[in-house]
Amino acid sequence: MNFQRRSLQKEILDETNIPPSDLRQNLAELDFINRYLGGHQLTLDSIERLMPKTPGNNPVEICEMGCGGGGNLQVIDQWARSKGINVVLTGIDLKADCLSYAQEKNWYHPTRWIRADFKDAHFHIKPDILFSSLFCHHFPDEEIPPMLQWMNDQSKMGFFINDLHRHPLAYYSIKWLSKAFSKSYLVRNDAPLSVARSFHRTDWENYFRDSGLLASRIAWKWAFRWQIIHTK
């Protein structure tokens, strides 16, 4: 395995004919991984860094691209409730089965769901904060700078990205863990492949250079995650 370059191999999750029950098992396990390997905590940290110090009475609009089963948004929903912060949440995803799974969760704050490619999503009001989590690694290099430009254009306060670090320890660790504990063939195949398709710091520096934007923060976080923040 060559970790100098991103893998071009497609993940099974990017297919369109996944049986709903298999997809649901995958979504449940991904949420577990995010909860216990730092993904959700990194999302909340990024929200706090972009959130106004005094949000005021108007709701803060937060939108996730590629929201999957809505695990990130549910964590934000619970966090905002605990802080007394008024938010409106939006999830965008191409897969109807993902959005159906997400809608079954117990939501406290208003939540909207958009089934679309993120580039085709239309906002009546632009979200204050846009973000993606474990989303960018599904795209080839040449599509990421335009994605950054879109996120900048469509957000009021800025955006953040939570994605993986391409590293042999991360690859072989998740490969062993998923083989030992996962009941999902999607997770067993795609979890290590996601690492192989993910990023080094220089990748992000190059993407922002090519996009004409400036990253406010590119930080490594446990466990093998990148936190990318752009503040407007």
Residue with tokens 């320890």: 169
51 vs 95: CA distance, rounded Å: 29
Burial zone of 145 (CB within 10 Å; 0-12 exposed, 13-18 middle, 19+ buried):
middle
In this prediction, residue 207 carries a pLDDT of 98
Q: What is the mean pLDDT of the chain?
A: 95
Q: What is the pLDDT of residue 40?
A: 96
**CA–CA separation, 53 vs 61, rounded Å?**
15
Residue positions counted in the chain: 232
CA atoms of 108 and 80, how far apart (whole Å): 9
Domains of the chain: 12-231 (3.40.50.150)
Q: Is the pTM value of this prediction over 0.85?
A: yes
Let me know: does 32 contact 221? Beta carbons within 8 Å. Answer: no
Q: Using one digit for the tens of pLDDT, what is the confidence trace for 156-191?
A: 999 999 999 999 999 999 999 999 999 999 999 999
> What local confidence, expressed as pLDDT, does residue 58 receive?
87
Spatial neighbors of 227 by CB under 8 A, at least 6 apart, are 42, 45, 46, 160, 161, 162, 217, 218, 219, 220, 221
- Facing residues of 88 across strands? 61
- What's the CA gap between 82 and 122, in Å, rounded? 30
* DSSP secondary structure of 100-167: HHHHTS--SS-EEEEES-GGG---SS--SEEEEES-GGGS-GGGHHHHHHHHHHH-SSEEEEEEEB--
Reported as a single tens digit per residue, the pLDDT across 111-147 is 999 999 999 998 989 999 999 999 999 999 999 999 9
Q: How many angstroms separate the CA atoms of 46 and 228, rounded?
A: 8
Beta-sheet strand order (sheet of 129-133): 111-115, 87-93, 60-65, 129-133, 158-164, 225-231, 217-221
Number of alpha carbons in the 13 Å side-chain half-sphere of residue 198: 26
pLDDT tens-place string over residues 61-88: 999 999 999 999 999 999 999 999 999 9
